[in-house]
Every structure is written in structure tokens, then in C-alpha cells.
Amino acid sequence: MFVYSQNTGNKILQQIAWQRELLRIVIIVALATATGMSFEQPFWGAFLGLIVSQVLMLKRLNELYRWSNNQGSAPQDGGLVGYSVDILVRRERSLNKKIDKQGKQLKRIAEGIESLKDGVLIVNQAGCMTSFNRASCHLLGLRADTDMGQHITNLIRAPRFVSYFKQADYSDVIELESPHRSNITVQIQVAQFGIDQKVIVVRDVTERQRVEKMRQTFIADVSHELRTPLTVINGYLEMLEDADLNPGISRAIKQMSTQNERMKSLVNDLLHLSKLESDNAGIGNDWFELQPLCAISVDQLRAYRPTSLTGEKFPEATLSCDCVSGIEILGFSEEFSSVLINLITNAIKYGQKEGLAAEVKVSIHTLDEGLEIAVTDQGEGIAPNHLSHLTERFYRVDESRESTVGGSGLGLAIVRHALEHHDTQLKIESILGKGSRFSFVIPTERIRMKGSA
């Protein structure tokens, strides 16, 4: 309603300005014509009146031009020029209000960015810095008087960052030592901003890394210290198992031995996982043949029969391996073997259905993006809400089933970290009542045919 009324008012004012302008011309021409009639030259009088009216119009337009360029005061006029001046003044006031409002908003945003503990840098399309906050100076050692306008890779010269900045995909973050302070570790993430700018966020993760390292060290130390007493306990239990004892005590000792073995397995898994988490593995330097590794892993587990916590043996599983020979993989053969053994072991344990033996298949297929390795079972399957949590430490799908089968709950966590060292991720598919499929794809740059080097 307000906009409609304002537009209507502007139209009325415009009509009045036109009327005044035409009236002014008519009056000047009429006076000039009357003067010309007194000299018996009415035509030349009217023509002279038109010239005078146009000269006056040009004079007012010149005043309008000078005023618009800040070279004079606004022309005082009741016609079209005056109307134009009035419209321009009102628009200028409105624009100034908007500019002031946006300026205050930008100032608040700038103050908010300055108050952040994380560094924020903005670079243009060429990679030169156009602005950064105080936290960036603290974390990266930047100086506003000398570093503004410099290319970002001239100031952060770490090869990992240079490679990361030049790539087009910024979905991941990188962590590296601060170029300004060696005792600070920073996490850097780049995001596209607008069409030709990028925002770089720098976060201090030194404390988080210190806590994570303490956790890993604590787990490793505790696991290592537990090995000795568990070995001693296991020795005494083996000695008691050979002794002539009554059936009740023998059964108790057997259960203690089972629990002791479970503790030893847990300790070994914790040590293995701690090593994987703390090891900066790189890409690996060894090429190993896949087919023998798969065959050895499968053969090791053909006779494997899981034992429940009550001592009951599970039926022997049926294992099959469909692997093409002659394929080599760049990486870590021990870690890769651990991945296969953990996946096959899990499939044997949880691939049963209604007391029947598990049927486990290891298959390898060539895809456009690399080599897919999959372990499939025909078990009871896993509900969809559990799939995203399976690689977490100690995660349990079904407490009742875990209490029957046993296990450390670390197998898939070990698989996840080992696969990260091979630039891939575990994909889990499962349908309740039909079974599960655990697969991963080795990228093409880590694959070659034997003898092609």
C-alpha cells in the first residue's frame, strides 16, 4: 500500500512539473508574440520566445549537470529540472541510509571475524590475500603491513598445503605444522567464496592432537602391561587343565581359559589399532600380489570354528575365493592381510542363520574406478540404523548375540584404519534375513599387472 501511494504521488508531482514547464513556455512565447505584434512581426516574436525558453531550459540543465558533479548548488526550479533534483535528492538520501545500514552490518561482521580464535583469510582468484584477521597473524605469523596482497603459497610453503590449495576439491581438511610456530599444529580448510574468491579457515588443533596422542599412548601402555599378567594367568590355567580335578572345577577352569583368550585377543587388537591410528603410513612402497594373499587368508580360516562363551563350537563355515591372479597392489601387505582376515572372521561369526554353517564368499571385480574386493555372507543381516556405526570402536549391533559369539568389537575399526592407508573406505550393505556385503575399492593408481613395472 505504501509503495502504491508513493508511486501515485510521484506521478502527480511529475504531471505538475510538466504542466509548469509547458505553462512557462506558453507564457514566454505569448509575451514574445505580443511584443512581435507591436512591431507587426508576430511570427518572429513567437520564434524568439521559443529560443528564449530553450536557452533558459539549457541554463537550468547546465546547473543540474554542475550540481550532479558537485560543482555548484542545486538549481531552484518548479518545473521538470526541479522535479528531477527533488527525485535525485530523495534517492540519494535513501541510498545513503542503505549504505549506512550495510556499513554497520559489515562492521559487525568484521568485528565478529576479528574476535574469532580461528584464522580467516580471503584470497582472490589469483591466490593473493585480500584480507585476514588477527588470529591468522597469531597462527601463521602474517603481518598486515607487508603480507597483504601476497600469494598465499609464498607464506605457507609446506608442499602438502601447496598441493591442497591448487586442487579443485576442498572437501577434506589438512593438518600441518604452523610455518610461524613449530609447537603449533593447524588444521586448514579452503572453501570457494563467490565466483573468484576463496576463504581459508585456520584452526589450532594442537591441544586436540595432544589429547589424542595421550589417549593412544595410554591404550598402548595399558594393553602392553596387561600382556604379562595374562600370559602368567594363561600358564597356570593350562597347568590346572592338565591336573586331575573334579568336573565342576574343570568346567570353571575351562571357562576362565576362554575368557583369558578373549582378553588376550582384545589386548592384541587394541595394540594393533593403536599402531594403525598413530602410524603416518604414507602410500606404502611395496607391491604385493593379491591372489596369494587372499588364498593364504582363506586357507588360514577354513578350519576356524568360533566358540561361544559357553564353550559350544559353531558349525564349520564354507569359504570360497574368486580371485584373479597376476594383480599387484601398492601398499602394506600385513595390513591388507589383517583387513581380509578380520572381514572373513566376522562373516564366519555372524554369517550363520538358524544354526546352519556360514557361507562366506570372497570376490574380486575390476571397476572403472579401481579393483573391488568384497566379502559376502548369507547370514541374518544387519538393520540399516546400525550400518554407519559398525566401524566404531566397541560398537555392538546386538548385545545378546555378542555375549554368545564374543569378540573384541575392534575388528572393523582396524579394517577402517588399514583401508585409509590404502586410500579407500569400507562400504557396508546388508538386508535383514538375506545377509551382508563388506566391500572396498582399491584406486587404479595402486594397481598394476604383475610384470608391468
| Domain assignments of the chain as residue spans, ordered by start | 2-109, 116-204, 210-279, 282-453
**Which cell numbers hold the place of 407?**
569378540
- Give the containing element (helix H, strand E) for 17: helix 2-38
Is the distance from CB of 290 to CB of 323 less than 8 angstroms?
A: yes
Structure-model confidence comparison of residues 36 and 414, the more confident one: 414
- Give the containing element (helix H, strand E) for 429: strand 427-431
Is the distance from CB of 267 to CB of 230 less than 8 angstroms?
A: yes
Tell me the pLDDT tens digit for each residue of 101-124.
888 888 888 888 888 888 899 999
pLDDT for 2: 43
Amino acid residing at 287: W
Is the distance from CB of 116 to CB of 133 less than 8 angstroms?
A: yes
pLDDT for 272: 73
pLDDT for 78: 67
CA torsion sign, 279 to 283 to 288 to 289? positive
Structure-model confidence comparison of residues 339 and 63, the more confident one: 339
Q: pTM of the prediction? A: 0.56
pLDDT for 9: 63
Q: Give 208's pLDDT tier (boundaries 50, 70, 90).
A: confident
Average pLDDT for the chain:
81
For residue 138, which of 191, 198, 178 has the smallest C-alpha distance?
Answer: 178
Domain 210-279 has CATH 1.10.287.130: yes
The answer to whether 116-204 and 210-279 have equal CATH topology is no
Tell me the pLDDT tens digit for each residue of 358-369.
888 999 888 888
Task: Give first-to-last CA distance, the chain, whole Å.
Answer: 79
Mean pLDDT over 405-417 rounds to 77
One of 3.40.640.10, 3.30.160.20, 3.30.450.20, 3.40.50.880 is the CATH number of 116-204, namely 3.30.450.20
Q: Specify the CATH architecture of the domain 282-453.
A: 2-Layer Sandwich (3.30)
Q: Which phi-psi region, left, alpha or beta, contains residue 45 (left: φ > 0; alpha: ψ -120 to 50)?
A: alpha
Name the one residue in this structure whose C-alpha cell is 530553450. Answer: 54
Residue 231 to residue 243: CA distance in whole angstroms: 19
